[in-house]
Amino acid sequence: MTAQLIDGNALSRHLRTEVAERAAALKARGTTPGLAVILVGDNPASQVYVRNKVKACHDAGLHSVLEQYPENLTEAELLARVAALNHDPAIHGILVQLPLPKHMDGQKVIEAIAPAKDVDGFHIASAGALMTGLPGFWPCTPYGCMKMLESIGYELKGKHAVVIGRSNIVGKPMALMLLQQNATVTICHSATRDLKAQTLQADVIVAAVGKRKVLTADMVKPGAVVLDVGMNRDDHGKLCGDVDFDAVKAVAGWITPVPGGVGPMTITMLLVNTLEAAERAAR
């Protein structure tokens, strides 16, 4: 069997067109959705990420501002900026790019963002809303994974999903989203004794570890859906995921590539959340 690809670029194009249409409609009613992106320091990877986020906003007709600060910005100064943006009516979403410099308490900064503007979905109010099934913002990467499953018409009810990785940003919210769709969910992590025994039982596998070849072909049940959240570099410096793609695609039923899979979906769901925040504010 050769797996079918779930194309994150194509799905993103489709969803971003929808965002642009909804944004234009909202604009016509007097509200332009606005995202503020804050970057502290000069981490080169973060600089690329925030530039891509701002460009994606621009392309979809959303207003965005990029605030860049030097590494030596104090936590109090950053908290003051977040407080000002919380009260800025032109801004519906606030994103503080992580990681923050070591002298700052990242969680404290995230908690300072008004939950109504927490388009990253990292605030404890957002996490609590996801856990209890109440309306709130879902973290963009697992939300994008759910959209990918939806795009292939995958019915999660009664299926076994295995999530590899337990981060607050991907693994834990991913498990809750799958559970909400009535999947039976197993979360695996670095202390899991027999990862292969778990993944072989899975109808859906989400690999979100940040390490190459965490998932190899012998670990996958024929026909399973494999979503690869990893963003790693191979020995030649080429972007690759957590999944041994070439081998696993011969076993899986569906698979996401890296690049061009989950990656573009993360930014797409940021646009969706920002638009949603603006639509809620305009109600």
Could you say which of 4, 7, 88, 97 is catalytic? 97
Q: Is 216 exposed, middle or buried (0-12, 13-18, 19+ CB in 10 A)?
A: middle
For the beta carbon of residue 270, count every other beta carbon within 10 angstroms.
Answer: 28
Size of site (CB under 6 A) for ligand GUN: 6
Among 140, 149, 251, 277, binds ligand GUN (CB under 6 A): 140
Cα 210 to Cα 208: distance, rounded to the nearest angstrom: 6
157 is annotated as an active-site residue? no
The nearest distance, CB 98 to ligand GUN, in angstroms, is: 4
Percentage helix, strand, coil, to 5, in the chain?
Answer: 45, 15, 40
- Reduce the DSSP state of residue 2 to 3 states and report it: coil
| Nearer to ligand GUN among residue 49 and residue 154 (C-beta) | 49
Closest CA to 177 of 222, 233, 136: 136
| Nearest distance, CB of residue 6 and ligand GUN, angstroms | 20
Catalytic residue among 120, 203, 228, 244: 120
Q: Does the annotation mark 97 as catalytic?
A: yes
The least CB distance from residue 5 to ligand GUN, in Å, is 24
Per CB under 6 A, contacts with ligand GUN among 83-122 are 95-98, 120
- Whether 120 sits among the annotated catalytic residues: the reply is yes
Residues recognised as catalytic: 53, 97, 120
Residues that bind ligand GUN (CB under 6 A): 95-98, 120, 140
